[in-house]
Structure 1
Amino acid sequence: MRTHFIAIGGSAMHNLAIALKDKGYQVTGSDDIIFEPSMSRLQQKGILPEEMGWFPEKITPDIDAVILGMHAHQDNPELARAKELGLKIYSYPEFLYEQSKDKTRVVIAGSHGKTTITSMILHVLNFHQKDVDFMVGAQLEGFDCMVKITKDNDFMVLEGDEYLSSPIDLRSKFLLYQPNIALMSGIAWDHINVFTTFDDYIEQFRKFVATITPGGVLVYNEEDPEVVKVVDQAENYFRKIPYHTPEYEISNGKVFLKTEIGDIPLSVFGAHNLLNMEGARLICRQLGVMDEDFYEAIMSFKGASKRLEKVERSDNGILYKDFAHAPSKVKAAVKAFTEQFKKEKTYGFLELHTYSSLNPAFLEQYDHAMDGLDEAVVFYSEDALKIKRMEPISPELIREKFKNESLKVFTRAEDLHAYWNTLDKTQGVYLMMSSGNFGGLDLTK
């Protein structure tokens, strides 16, 4: 089968391209810019475009599938050529469904926790050498690629994102998977540039539940009232399995999960991670993994990339980075961090740089998000606001919306870096929350 990727360099897209190459497909692609590690990984597989840009001449009648990434625009010249030739054009999730429609599909959804839960499930299955197809949004220890597609595996585990499918398919990605087994971890308003009201956002999850196949299974977080409402309102038939945070204790800086077979030592911390773990356990049960086997495997799970991930520093300072930027994720990460390091001075840094997080109307969702930290810092770039053509935001407004008068606010990277350099990283513990890089800050030294 011959496939062509329009915008092959994306985090998800390049992994799918590699997976199809490994499956034996003929893979080509284009992009106008490709960053690392996508560039090196595509080059290693021999599918890195020879030059950057869009080339309609690459689109030929013998292509079986054109896969369109979100980075491309509706007026993309390669897309126009594909339409002109009448080629089959897939969004990323649409193609994943096509590859898995004869398998049992397990879809992990939710505003927060879905990457970690998917990662936990795959870690356990990999530990016990149970082979499944998958797609996950973070690089995992023990896995070469974030996507795996085979002809023979019976199951496919998919991280279900509620964001748009492609520039020409404005459905939420997870609406295309039609799960046999699903999990919903939580609902907290996100992507406000697309879902302009909270109800519009919730509606995506109502639609997602409606796509569960008849007689399927939904594992859901019963501690989240919005999730419970969506489940209770569902009209289609499926089996409902609720879960909640299990009992645990922290002893000498180590987290122990309390179970019927004894206390299980863990390599991760935070109540939200324990909640995620409980959801993962119940999904694994649906896949034939006994609880004892789950606990045996989960002890060695160290977390998904950039999810409370410890950074090795040259000075041995204790620093964790987290992808958290949405309010619910920030609150969960801060709560976990301050609980874990009660006896240490805690520093928390948050970078705001997404459309949602820089929207004054949305900032109220961050109320008290940084409470509990001894030193709390928020950074956003005035230049980023200009690039996004957004109105200026004052530091005073940030403090007001966060309901934290002692919050340190920086709007220029050089000022943030200067403050960072005054801190002795061997004193206290540091939590760095961003989907960016704090204006080029090196966290390792």
Structure 2
Amino acid sequence: MANIFDEAKNKTRVLVFSTHSSIAKLLHEVLHFYDKDFGYYLENDDFENPSSDFAILETGDIEKATLFQPSIALITSEISGETVIPLFSKITAGGVLIYHSNLSEAVEKSENFFRKLEFDHPQFQKSVAGFVLETNIGAIPISSSEEDLLKDIEGAKLLSQQFGVMEEEFYEPLMSFI
């Protein structure tokens, strides 16, 4: 893991800082659906698709996250403000931070220059087959039974937009995601 930055230094480094793997799985699903080219680090430190311009790391380990020095970072809702403070100084200047509103106070204290995109929990309801997500374009049925995924779905949508997947496009692969 010590050379994770070296392996990805010439790439757009994308961090999914979460203790729930479902967000990273959803991101992979959306990007594959639209044939976006990306590489990613696995928990055993292997790097898949090293020729890609994008390198994605999903971790809940702050040490790995800071070593990665992300250009784009998504921090999910279960992460506390104190935990992520060391990460803010490691985000590439001019990068993008996507964070849940519960981190607003910690983010505002950051002195580094990066774009800040805040998200909150969306409106959703439990259904027989999973959930129904309320969106600007109407109700979207979701087959997943993971409520943690729904809490951070807005963050995943904002992150997907960094790859050129716009809001309406994001929901199509989401409907079949389990």
Provide TM-score, normalisation by structure 1: 0.37
* Change over 3 Å in CA distance of 1:125–1:290 after alignment to 2: same
Report the counterpart of residue 265 of structure 1 in structure 2: 141
Cα distance in 2 for residues equivalent to 1:244 and 1:271 = 14
Match of 1:128 in 2: 34
The secondary structure found in structure 2 opposite 1:295 is: helix
The residue number in structure 2 matching 1:187 is 79
Q: Give the alignment partner of residue 214 of structure 1, picking from 93, 102, 110.
A: 93
Alpha-carbon distance change, 240 to 299 in structure 1, aligned in 2, over 3 angstroms: same
Counterpart Cα distance in 2 of 1:175 and 1:132: 20
Partners in 1 of 2:141 and 2:98 — Cα distance?
Answer: 25
Cα distance, 1:137–1:243 mapped onto 2, change above 3 Å: farther
Letter in 1 for 2:100: N
What residue number does 1:160 align with? 59
Preserved CA contact (<8 Å) 1:160 1:173: yes
CA contact (8 A) 1:105 1:178 kept: yes
Q: 1:234: which partner in 2?
A: 110
How far apart are residue 136 of structure 1 and its match? 4.4
1:437 maps to none
Higher relative contact order (CA 8 A, sep 6+): 2
Per-residue Cα deviation, 1:319-367 (whole angstroms, up to 9, x for no partner): xxxxxxxxxxxxxxxxxxxxxxxxxxxxxxxxxxxxxxxxxxxxxxxxx
SS at match of 2:16: strand
Query: Quick one: which of 45, 48, 68 aligns to 1:148?
Result: 48
Letter in 2 for 1:161: G
Q: Summarize the Cα distance change of 1:205–1:251 in structure 2 as closer, same or farther, 3 Å threshold.
A: closer
1:107 aligns to what? 15
**Contact 1:245/1:274, CA 8 A, preserved across alignment:** yes
Query: Greater CA radius of gyration, 1 or 2?
Result: 1
Q: Which structure is higher in strand share?
A: 2
Structure 1 counterpart of 2:73, one-letter code: A
**d(CA) in 2 for partners of 1:137 and 1:150?**
16
Identity of aligned residues (%): 35
Q: Does 1:244 align with 2:129?
A: no
1:76 aligned residue = none
- For structure 2, the residue ranges without an aligned partner over 5 or more in a row are none
Residue deviations 1:160-209, cap 9 Å, x none?
Answer: 3326xxxxxxxx11111111111111325xxxxxxxxxxxx92x521111
Distance 2:47 2:22 in 1: 15
List gaps (5 residues or longer) in structure 1: 1-91, 139-145, 164-171, 189-200, 303-445
SS at match of 1:299: helix
Distance 1:296 1:287 in 2: 16
Taking a change above 3 Å as real, the CA distance of residues 120 and 253 of structure 1, as seen in their structure-2 partners, is closer
CA contact (8 A) 2:36 2:163 kept: no
Q: Secondary structure at the match of 2:69?
A: coil
Amino acid at match of 1:97: F
For residues 231 and 136 of structure 1, the distance between their equivalents in structure 2, rounded to whole angstroms, comes to 28
Whether contact under 8 Å (2:129, 2:143) holds in the other structure is no
Shift of 1:294: 1.0
Partners of 1:245 and 1:271 within 8 A in 2: no
- Higher mean C-alpha displacement, 271-280 vs 176-185: 271-280
- Gap change, CA 1:134 and 1:245, over 3 Å in 2: same
**One-letter identity of the residue aligned with 2:48:** K
User: Does the 8 A contact of 2:17 with 2:58 survive in 1?
Assistant: yes
C-alpha RMSD of the superposition: 2.1
User: How many residues are paired up?
Assistant: 176
The CA distance in 2 between the partners of 1:254 and 1:217, in whole Å, is 31
SS across alignment from 1:158 = strand
Secondary structure of the 2:139 match is: strand
Q: Could you say if the C-alpha distance between residues 274 and 136 of structure 1 is closer, same or farther in structure 2, counting changes exceeding 3 Å?
A: farther
In the TM superposition, what whole-angstrom CA distance separates every residue of 1:214-250 from its partner, at most 9, and x where no partner exists? 111100010x2xx223212101111111111111123
